[in-house]
Amino acid sequence: MLFKLPKLSYSYEDFEPFIDKKTMDIHYNKHHATYTNNLNKAISSSCIDMKSLSIEEILRRAHMETPTIRNNSGGFYNHNIFWDILIPHSKYVQPSPYLNEIFKKYFKSFDSFKDKFSTIAANCFGSGWTWLCVKEKILQICSTKNQDNPLMYNTGCDGVPILGLDIWEHAYYLQYQNRRLDYISSFWNIVDWKKVEKNYQKAVK
């Protein structure tokens, strides 16, 4: 099975002024497309038959594979999650009472969750991702380096990711330059909390 770049349910300009159209275009058509193409090339040329594996199965064994497979499988999967939990601000809605109770249970409040997530994202050194994930039915926030993610072995951040923030510079540099904090703050205006809730319910089953 070869992997395909997912179709987006929105336009590149739908996230302005929080993420500019040019960044969205380059991020999707250059960076994500390159990870997708390189992943397909790597698994096609691998001496191990990986074409029958799902992306989740590949990620769980990525530590045993070449850096090319590890990096590009992570890049493919991570961006899929990122695009999937975004929503144009014009359609934004606050978390449901149910999800708010979940945040209250693990982080005292929704605002406390955002503060903790933002702090961890801001303090991640270099390129990587910050995640909200479910581990043994418990919510936790953690970061991974490069294109690693919580499904991979021994990253120090394990679980099922239900929300991810790309903190590579390519995700924000055209608009925010070195102002990562401003980018993180803008992110909260375009999160699809209905999708995050669905991801949570699926992960805790």
Global pTM? Answer: 0.96
Tell me: the pLDDT tens digits for 65-118?
999 999 999 999 999 999 999 999 999 999 999 999 999 999 999 999 999 999
Position 45 scores a pLDDT of 82
The answer to whether residue 47 scores a pLDDT higher than 70 is: no
Q: Could you tell me which CATH number the domain at 20-87 has?
A: 1.10.287.990
The answer to whether residue 52 scores a pLDDT higher than 90 is: no
Please state, in angstroms and as integers, the Cα–Cα distance from residue 101 to each residue in 39, 62, 77, 84, 117, following that order: 39, 35, 29, 23, 17
The answer to whether residue 20 scores a pLDDT higher than 70 is: yes
Instruction: Decide: residue 52, CB within 10 A, 0-12 exposed, 13-18 middle, 19+ buried.
Output: exposed
Q: Could you tell me which CATH number the domain at 90-203 has?
A: 3.55.40.20
Q: 11 falls in which pLDDT band (50, 70, 90)?
A: very high
What's the rounded Cα separation, in Å, for the pair 74 and 167? 14
The domain spans of the chain are 20-87, 90-203
Position 6 scores a pLDDT of 96
User: What single-letter DSSP state applies at residue 27?
Assistant: I
